[in-house]
Chain A
Amino acid sequence: MARRPILGLFRDANAAADAGDALKGAGISENDYDFLTDSPYPEGAFGEREEKHRIYVFPFIGALLGLTSGILLTSMTQFAYPLVTGGKPILSLPPMAVVTYEGTMLGAILFTVLGIMFESRLPKPKLGLYDTRITEGFIGVLVNAEEDQHNQVQELMTQAGAVEVKREN
């Protein structure tokens, strides 16, 4: 049988957390339910699973790439137009520093942005099961469960205090 989403809406964060506990108690894996909120609740506020990510790798890769391209750009343009200025060598490091630095930072920032997109799995072409009341302060508990479990999940969420439980049409 297929796994399909089911969404419970809660007015109260405590109730949502209760629902989470109940789901865990009913043997639903932590990876199969999510809490949808309209603002960042502190981590662990719902007793949810801890999210692993590798975002910190991205800026380093970006910085390295940016640094390389900065050095290449600055050194190659100097060699390509070898005009002696002020008796300094053609390839002198201090004037390269600034452009290289900007390149490094730009690379780091661009990769960080890409990393954030990638790690938060955005863009998401299809929104899926959702309710606009979530951005009104309601808390959604989105469960991904086998279809035969849906009634049980609905029961659990209603017991925990769900205002409404939605299924995909």
Chain B
Amino acid sequence: MAEHSNGRSPAGMWVFPQADQITAQVMERTTRRCKPHTIALVVAALLAALGVVGFLFRVAADGLDNYNAWGYYMAAFSFVFMVTSGAPLATAAFRFTKSHWRRPLSRVAELFAVVGVLNLLLFIPMVIVLPAIENPTFVPGMEGEMAARRAIWLGSSGVPFGAPALWDILGLVALAVTSMAILWLSLMPDLAQSRDRVSGFRRTIYGLLAGSWHGTKRQWIQHKAGMMLLGGFYFMMVVFVHFLIVSDFAMSLIPGWKDSILPPLYTLIAFQNALGLLLVILFILRKWGGYQEYIGISLFWSASKILLGLTLLWTYHLFAFFITFWYGRLEVEESILRYLMFESYAPVFWANVIFSFFVPFFILLWNPVRKTAWGPALAGLSALVGGFLFSIRIFVGSFNAVDFKEFPGELYSLGLTRARIQDAVIPDLWDIFMVVGIIGAAALVYLAAAKLFPVMSIWEVKEGAMYQRMGKLFRGEYMILAKPE
């Protein structure tokens, strides 16, 4: 193991683990008992149990036929969904760009695929509570109401079969399956070479999942092509499913909200959050997980530039939305701005902007801070808080834009009027239970997966050790990066 830096970079900038010890080290760290990890598992399980309690009480109190009461559930789901759907993409994207620094990050990101299944389960109640697209009380000639609310699902002859529930679920299934496939494919070489080092149930699972992997040239070529294809497909899918979720569960629930930038805005904050969480996890792994000689500062440095870019892009998209509505100044636009940004949800909005933009921006602006582990991780943490607030603002806002019990017709009206702007919804105890429960459940699944499988991509780190080294050029010592293709 060797840590490297030159005069111009901090200690531990580049780390090159010893190739022949990687498997043993990673497996030792995966299988050993770790008290904090166990405690975290227990806490997550307790939180998840609270979530179940909250859910049951919410069903008992409000039922599943009034979506108004489910705003916080949706917000928490969206938050978990943003992070877990975005994370596997980090692997795929940086594999595409052939960045060597991504290697320690890959598996940490891919493991989020396991949470994709949980997403699917969590999503089912939302599909049930979502009100119909067709207006049930509509009679032709009715004033101020439409036969169907605005949605992406309208064909020439009404709402297509199964929309939106079936198609949204299919989208989530496709995401879960693709990301699992990516994870499995990426795990295969690792499990094959480490199945002899583990015992018990791990051995059985590793043996099953590793299949007939021997690491022949042909297998490696297919492995690589498979990863590339799946990664590309996943990228397309994830952007599409974000579009489905945010337009069905947010935009279409606020009457008259026509906002073509919302899907990219949502996608961007999802990616920002995913990368932010990855940096936080990597920081923890580096600091306390015993992976210091695997995760160099250069990873944080490179990733922080991407994080800064995503932060700026998100803010830019937000401004593009705002300025267009502000200039348009239709009544519905003004009402939506008042509702989501400047009146009802004003505190959440400003907090969202502070945590999603100002804090990460002013942290990541400084190059010396970008060359630390804590700086990018702190910015990532702030982005996570911001993303959570964003989800609350968008989804709690959308789920409560009209009082569905009192005036169901309003959901199908042409636009949110100034007089009908609702107040912000404060979470009650069950909401809080559900929110912590959903996050806890996601953490539980992830932590369990990280216990079962190695959290470092062994083959990728080994490959990286082959292609990176320090070398002398005349009098200076520099990093040498090889690109085999």
Contact = CB atoms under 8 A, between A and B. Distances in A.
Contact of B6 (A20, A44, A46): A44
A112 to B, nearest CB: 15
Interface in B320-345: 322-323, 326-327, 329
Nearest to B6: A44
Determine the main DSSP class of A at the interface with B.
loop
Interface stretch (B116-124, B204-212, B469-477): B469-477
A136 B322 CA distance: 55
Contacts of B327: 94
B326 A46 contact: no
Given A50-B7, A86-B329, A45 B323 contact: no
Q: How large is the interface on A (under 10, 10 to 19, 20 to 34, 35 or more residues)?
A: 10 to 19
B474 A46 contact: yes
Nearest to A101: B319
A44 B7 CA distance: 9
Interface string B445-485: 00000000000000000000000000001111110000000
Nearest to B326: A94
Nearest to A13: B474
Contacts of A97: 319, 323
Contacts of A41: 474
B8 interface: yes
B11 to A, nearest CB: 17
Interface in A76-101: 86, 94, 97
A42 B476 contact: yes
A45 B322 CA distance: 50
Contacts, number: 36
Nearest to A47: B475
A43 B475 contact: no
A45 B8 contact: no
Contacts of A46: 474-475
Contacts of A13: 474
Most A-side CB within 10 Å, residue of B367, B476, B477? B476
Interface string A38-65: 0001111111001000001000000000
Contacts of B323: 94, 97
A149 interface: no
Contacts of B475: 17, 20-21, 44-47
Contacts of A86: 329
A14 B474 CA distance: 6
A42 B319 contact: no
Contacts of B8: 43-44
Nearest to B367: A56
Interface of A: 13-14, 17, 20-21, 41-47, 50, 56, 86, 94, 97
22 contacts: A13-B474, A17-B475, A41-B474, A42-B473, A43-B8, A43-B476, A44-B6, A44-B476, A44-B477, A45-B473, A45-B474, A46-B474, A46-B475, A47-B474, A47-B475, A47-B476, A50-B7, A56-B367, A86-B329, A94-B326, A97-B319, A97-B323
Interface of B: 6-8, 319, 322-323, 326-327, 329, 367, 473-478
